[in-house]
């Protein structure tokens, strides 16, 4: 049973409540990590909100004044709503693409791969080990104007001879999809792997067709994996700007590009306000989504 990868169905369920120890030991184990997270995740988030309310007249050298300058928000949103909206759109399209590509893959590995399961799982995580920026540059090459893929597409009868992929929204979304696909496939696979095969046999015994068995048994039982996977895809995708920079053009800039540039320009209040605005938008969207999906057992 001792594998790095989750290859076997875990038959021992979670320990029953009475098998867990009470007392202060739990807190002691939890404390060092929680301290780190509190100090370097919670405190920074509070600082970010505070910084977003500084007077934008200050600068890094002269210092900022805390004036509760709420006006930073309307200013940031008015200037960059286009990039915010574009980021959400790209992230949504990439997430849908991840479902379309990732579900068949996770399903094939969980149910159809037989003894090749471990090899395929390794293949899914393998790209992680080659630097992600180097891989994105590989896409820059693959989608380039003079490479065989674009030449092939241009040769097809229904495409124009001036078809381009690089520096278009398509290449940015394809890059984002590629980037976050493993983060969708792995939680979904974990969910599919847990499904009791006897349930599918029962469905088939009760004259359900394979398609119906999938729709009535497999799909609903895999929903926690789908929800977890879409969150791990959509949220980082909305904040990503590497694909927009390496595979896109000035017309595909996302909100991450702008936040980063504002920090570089030294405009900390506006950058922070834009960052908080992005975070709040995502939290609201995710809360609605999780509530609609009806799964609260994500963690």
Partner 1 sequence: MRAAGDWVGRHLILMIGMLVLLYMLTPVFVVVLMSFNQPAGRNTYTFDGFTLDNWTNLCEPYQLCSSVRLSLEIGLLATLLATLLGTLMAFAMVRHRFRGRAAANVFIFLPMATPEIVMGSSLLALFVNAGLAGKLGFWTIFVAHVMFCLSFVVVTVKARLAGMDPRLEQAAADLYANEWQTFWRVSFPLVFPGILAAALLSFSLSFDDFIITNLNAGQQVTFPMFVWGANTKGIPMQINVIGTLMFAIALIVVVVGEFGSRRRDRTRV
62, 131, 158, 162: which one contacts partner 1 (CB under 8 A)? 131
Please, which of residues 105-124 interact with partner 1 by CB under 8 A?
Answer: 105, 107-109, 111-113, 118, 120, 122-124
Q: Give long-range contacts, CB 8 A cutoff, 24+ apart: 103-109.
A: 103/188, 103/226, 105/185, 106/185, 106/188, 106/189, 106/192, 106/225, 107/192, 107/218, 109/185, 109/189
- Per CB under 8 A, the segment of 36-44, 69-77, 155-163, 218-226 that binds partner 1 is 36-44
CB closer to partner 1 out of 41 and 158: 41
CB of 33 to partner 1, least distance (A): 4
For residues 253-292, which are near partner 1 according to CB under 8 A? 255-256, 259-260, 263, 268, 271-272, 275-276, 278-279, 282, 286
| Region 153-192 residues binding partner 1, contact defined as CB under 8 A | 178, 181-182, 190
Identity of the residue, 48 or 195, whose beta carbon is nearer to partner 1 in the bound complex: 48
Nearer to partner 1, 56 or 102 (CB): 102
Residues in 217-246 that interact with partner 1 by CB under 8 A: 231-232, 235-236, 238-242, 245-246
Q: Choose the binding region for partner 1 from 16-24, 71-79, 151-159, 217-225 (rule: CB under 8 A).
A: 16-24
Q: What is the DSSP string of 202-262?
A: HHHHTT--HHHHIIIIIHHHHHHHHHHHHHHHHHHHHH--HHHHHH--GGG--HHHHHHHH
Residues 6 or more apart from 55 whose CB is under 8 A from it?
A: 64, 65, 66, 67, 69, 269
The crossing angle, in degrees rounded to 10, of helices 268-293 and 219-239 is 170
Count of alpha carbons within 13 angstroms of residue 134, beta-carbon side: 5
- Using rule CB under 8 A, residue 33 touches partner 1: yes
């Amino acid at each position: 049973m001792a594998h790095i990868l989750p290859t076997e169905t875990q038959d021992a369920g979670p320990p029953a409540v009475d098998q867990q120890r009470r007392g202060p030991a739990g807190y002691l184990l939890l404390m060092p990590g929680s301290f780190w997270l509190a100090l370097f995740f919670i405190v920074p988030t509070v600082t970010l909100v505070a910084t977003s309310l500084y007077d934008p007249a200050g600068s890094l050298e002269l210092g900022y004044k805390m004036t509760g300058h709420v006006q930073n928000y309307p200013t940031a949103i008015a200037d960059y709503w286009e990039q915010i909206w574009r980021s959400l759109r790209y992230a949504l399209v990439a997430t849908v693409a991840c479902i379309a590509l990732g579900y068949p893959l996770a399903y094939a590995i969980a149910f159809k791969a037989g003894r090749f399961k471990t090899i395929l799982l390794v293949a899914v995580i393998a790209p992680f080990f080659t630097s992600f920026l180097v891989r994105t540059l590989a896409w820059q090459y693959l989608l380039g104007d003079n490479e065989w893929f674009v030449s092939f597409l241009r040769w097809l009868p229904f495409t124009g001879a001036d078809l381009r992929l690089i520096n278009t929204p398509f290449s940015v979304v394809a890059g984002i999809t590629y980037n976050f696909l493993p983060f969708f496939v792995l939680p979904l696979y974990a969910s599919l792997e847990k499904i009791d095969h006897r349930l599918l046999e029962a469905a088939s015994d009760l004259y359900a067709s394979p398609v119906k068995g999938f729709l009535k048994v497999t799909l609903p039982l895999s929903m926690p994996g789908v929800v977890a996977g879409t969150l791990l895809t959509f949220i980082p995708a909305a904040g990503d700007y590497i694909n927009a920079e390496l595979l896109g053009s000035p017309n595909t800039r996302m909100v991450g590009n702008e936040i980063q540039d504002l920090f570089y320009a030294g405009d900390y209040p506006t950058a922070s306000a834009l960052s908080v605005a992005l975070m709040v938008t995502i939290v609201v969207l995710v809360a609605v989504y999780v509530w609609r999906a009806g799964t609260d057992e994500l963690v």
